[in-house]
Amino acid sequence: MTITRDFAAPPVTTRLPKVGTTIFTVMSALAQQHGAVNLGQGFPDFQGDPALVDAVAAAMRAGHNQYPPMPGLMSLREAVAGKIESLHGASYDPDREITITAGATQAILTAVLALVHPGDEVIVLEPCYDSYEPALTLAGATTVRVPLDPKTLHVDMARVAAALTPRTRAIMINTPHNPSGTVWNASERSQLRDLLRGTNVLVISDEVYEHMVFDGQPHISVCGDPELAARSLLISSFGKTFHVTGWKVGYVAAPAELMAEFRKVHQFNVFTVNTPMQQGLAQYLANPAPYLDLPDFYQAKRDLFRAGLAPTKFRLLPCEGTYFQCVDYSRISEMEDDAFCRWLTEEIGVAAIPLSAFHERPTDQRIIRFCFAKQEATLQAALTRLQGL
């Protein structure tokens, strides 16, 4: 039977009227079209550890191919609980307080749908990852954007305090921060704890770059402060940590009362996450070296990339963590950042992301973001092109 298009689809009222194709997809397609070095979308161009791949393959061959428990394999939840306790001294019950998710983006959406209600307000710190506001819109909540300090790109607690109202249900934080590369310090965490004391405001803490903190700084997790941890959902990503972003496996740690609500939604939007990868990750986490060595691994890439850009007209912003480097290009061009990124891709052959993509409204900061989670040869190829500017 041949399907024709003689009949129109019924009209649809969109749930996400502000959402189109993401800039990450657009710039990656443009990079491919023009043969540009893609330093735009945040993913490595190198493989993860063969030992991890072997562990997953062995799990498949051993027959671990049916549904795991809804919250995730207990062996992986126990491994995550052990990792958190060893790094931050925080104790989570793997049975009731840790859930394995289909990546961090699903974890963020699930947390919002489970705990945020129509009419609630949720504070996000701008610039911010582009999935936050759509998740809040789907929950019927109001996004309250609080800008980071424009000079330091660190959180401005006075502005956060001013944004709190009786309708504030949660604040979404992100450290290390995408796109700026800034990292929270212990003072900022303490200020947030004190600010929220006496309120019912929840914290949704996006910590997917937790193992990419440089220059000897520690990662300041919400779980390291017991009072803050009691109101927080900690979200992280195996894909980011182990260079396997396409696997889309992450986790959430939260007090049992919050996790019970999280799992009510989780069981109906993904139910659970593929078994062999969970089995392989549980085995792989027995050795902490791969994530403990990650700061040095990415700092070497950061330093190589920054040294290569230092002689250029780009002005380097600080990069305390993540695998992103932001630069000011105002000495090169007067173009707005979106147009500059397109020109850079088409004419110079290097793809980047405009910082305005992380803002609600267009900005005129003349700042773009490069991803340095690439092989040295990829970074050198990009630097050779950028050094000609």
CATH code at 362? Answer: 3.90.1150.10
User: Could you identify the residue written with the tokens 């000079």?
Assistant: 151
Query: Is there a domain that residue 168 lies in?
Result: yes
Q: Are residues 163 and 241 in the same domain?
A: yes
Q: Are residues 218 and 254 in the same domain?
A: yes
| Residue 7: predicted pLDDT | 82
Residues 6 or more apart in contact with residue 195 via CB below 8 angstroms: 157, 160, 161, 164
Q: Which residue in 309, 275, 323 sits closest to 386, CA to CA?
A: 309
- Phi, psi angle pair for 45, to nearest 5°: -105, 25
Which H helix or E strand runs over 112? helix 103-115
Q: Are residues 81 and 190 in the same domain?
A: yes
φ/ψ region of 248 (left if φ > 0, alpha if ψ in -120 to 50, else beta) reads left
Q: Are residues 43 and 29 in the same domain?
A: yes
Q: What is the mean pLDDT of residues 265-270?
A: 97
Tens of pLDDT, residue by residue over 85-104, are 999 999 999 999 999 999 99
Domain hosting residue 257, numbered range: 66-287
Distance, in Å, from the CA atom of 219 to the CA atom of 176, rounded to the nearest integer, reads 8
Q: Are residues 189 and 260 in the same domain?
A: yes
Q: Are residues 309 and 281 in the same domain?
A: no
Distance, in Å, from the CA atom of 153 to the CA atom of 254, rounded to the nearest integer, reads 27
pLDDT(362) > 80: no
| Residue 338: predicted pLDDT | 93
Query: What mean pLDDT, rounded, does the chain reach?
Result: 95
Q: Are residues 79 and 201 in the same domain?
A: yes
| Residue 1: predicted pLDDT | 56
Angle at which helix 256-269 crosses helix 103-115, to 10 degrees, equals 110
Residues 6 or more apart in contact with residue 320 via CB below 8 angstroms: 176, 181, 182, 183, 213, 214, 215, 217
Q: Report the DSSP beta bridge partners of residue 21.
A: none
Strand order in the sheet with 168-174: 98-101, 250-253, 232-237, 202-206, 168-174, 121-126, 142-147
Q: Are residues 267 and 138 in the same domain?
A: yes
Distance, in Å, from the CA atom of 74 to the CA atom of 92, rounded to the nearest integer, reads 13
Instruction: Give the residue with greater pLDDT, 361 vs 363.
Output: 361
Which H helix or E strand runs over 110? helix 103-115
pLDDT tier at 2 (50, 70, 90 boundaries)? Answer: low
Residues 68, 278 contacting (CB under 8 angstroms):
yes
| Position 313, amino acid | K
Query: Is there a domain that residue 58 lies in?
Result: no
Which H helix or E strand runs over 281? helix 275-284
Sign, CA torsion 275/277/278/280:
positive
Query: Is there a domain that residue 55 lies in?
Result: no
Give the count of domains, the chain: 2
Q: Are residues 194 and 313 in the same domain?
A: no
| Residue 361: predicted pLDDT | 80
| Residue 263: predicted pLDDT | 98
Domain limit, last residue, from 287, 315, 346 = 287
Could you tell me the two tokens for 41? 């979308």
Q: Are residues 102 and 249 in the same domain?
A: yes
Domain limit, last residue, from 267, 287, 307 = 287
User: Could you identify the residue written with the tokens 């799992």?
Assistant: 263
| Residue 41: predicted pLDDT | 84
Q: What is the mean pLDDT of residues 286-313?
A: 98
Residues 236, 175 contacting (CB under 8 angstroms):
no
Q: Are residues 146 and 269 in the same domain?
A: yes
**Distance from the Cα of residue 71 to its chain's centroid:** 21
DSSP assigned state of 217: P
Residues 32, 349 contacting (CB under 8 angstroms):
no
CATH number at residue 153: 3.40.640.10
Whether a cis peptide bond, with omega within 30° of 0, leads into 127 is yes
Query: Is there a domain that residue 139 lies in?
Result: yes
pLDDT tier at 132 (50, 70, 90 boundaries)? Answer: very high
Q: Are residues 231 and 124 in the same domain?
A: yes
Strands (E), the chain: 37-38, 98-101, 121-126, 142-147, 168-174, 202-206, 232-237, 250-253, 315-316, 324-328, 350-351, 353-354, 367-371
Domain limit, last residue, from 287, 318, 347 = 287
Instruction: Give the angle 169-175-180 at the CA atoms, nearest 5°.
Output: 110
pLDDT(35) > 70: yes
Can you give the pTM of this predicted structure? 0.95
Distance, in Å, from the CA atom of 79 to the CA atom of 263, rounded to the nearest integer, reads 19
Distance, in Å, from the CA atom of 28 to the CA atom of 314, rounded to the nearest integer, reads 22
Query: Is there a domain that residue 259 lies in?
Result: yes
Residues 127, 148 contacting (CB under 8 angstroms):
yes
